[in-house]
C-alpha cells in the first residue's frame, strides 16, 4: 500500500469518526460514562450494555428514557433518582434500582463527593441507548 493510499484511508477514518461524534448528544457537565461491555443476547433483537456513569458533586443527568430496562447498582456516593409518577429516591453505595422499559427518569449527585453507578441495560438493538426528554 502506498503512502498516499494510507493517507487517504486515515483521512476517511478521521472524517467518519468526526461525523459519528457530531451526531452523539453532548454529555451533561460533570458526568462521565465508560462503556464496559456490549453484547448480543438470546432475546431476538436485543442487546445488553454495561456502563459506569460518574457524577461530580451536584452534577445531574436530565430526564431521559431507554429502549429497554435499566438495572442500577450504586458504586459510591449518593444519587437521587426521579422516575415519573413516583417520589424521588436517594440511593447510596450498594443500593439498587430497576427502571422499567421506557420509564422517564433523571439522576443527580446529592452528596459532597463523586458518585458513580454501574448501569446494566437490556435494550432493543439498533436504537439509541438514551433519549433526552425535554
In a domain, 91, yes or no: yes
On the 0-12 / 13-18 / 19+ scale of CB atoms within 10 A, 111 is middle
For 38-96, what is each residue's pLDDT tens digit?
999 999 999 999 999 999 999 999 999 999 999 999 999 999 999 999 999 999 999 99
**What CATH number is given to the structural domain containing 31?**
2.60.120.10
Question: CA–CA distance from 52 to each of 7, 15, 56, 114, 121 (Å)?
Answer: 36, 28, 13, 13, 11
In a domain, 88, yes or no: yes
pTM: 0.80
In a domain, 126, yes or no: yes
Question: What is the domain extent for residue 74?
Answer: 27-132
H-run or E-run covering 4:
helix 3-23
For 60-75, what is each residue's pLDDT tens digit?
999 999 999 999 999 9
In a domain, 41, yes or no: yes
Split into its structural domains, the chain has a count of: 1
Amino acid at each position: 500500500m502506498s503512502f498516499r493510499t494510507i493517507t487517504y484511508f486515515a483521512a476517511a477514518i478521521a472524517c467518519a469518526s468526526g461525523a459519528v461524534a457530531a451526531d452523539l448528544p453532548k454529555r451533561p457537565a460533570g458526568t462521565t460514562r465508560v462503556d464496559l461491555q456490549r453484547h448480543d443476547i438470546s432475546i431476538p433483537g436485543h442487546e445488553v450494555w454495561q456502563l459506569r456513569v460518574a457524577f461530580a458533586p451536584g452534577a445531574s443527568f436530565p430526564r431521559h428514557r431507554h429502549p429497554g430496562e435499566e438495572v442500577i447498582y450504586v458504586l459510591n456516593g449518593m444519587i437521587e433518582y426521579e422516575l415519573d409518577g413516583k417520589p424521588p429516591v436517594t440511593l447510596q453505595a450498594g443500593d439498587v434500582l430497576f427502571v422499567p422499559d421506557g420509564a422517564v427518569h433523571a439522576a443527580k449527585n446529592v452528596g459532597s463527593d463523586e458518585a458513580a453507578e454501574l448501569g446494566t441495560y437490556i435494550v432493543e438493538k439498533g436504537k439509541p441507548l438514551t433519549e433526552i426528554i425535554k
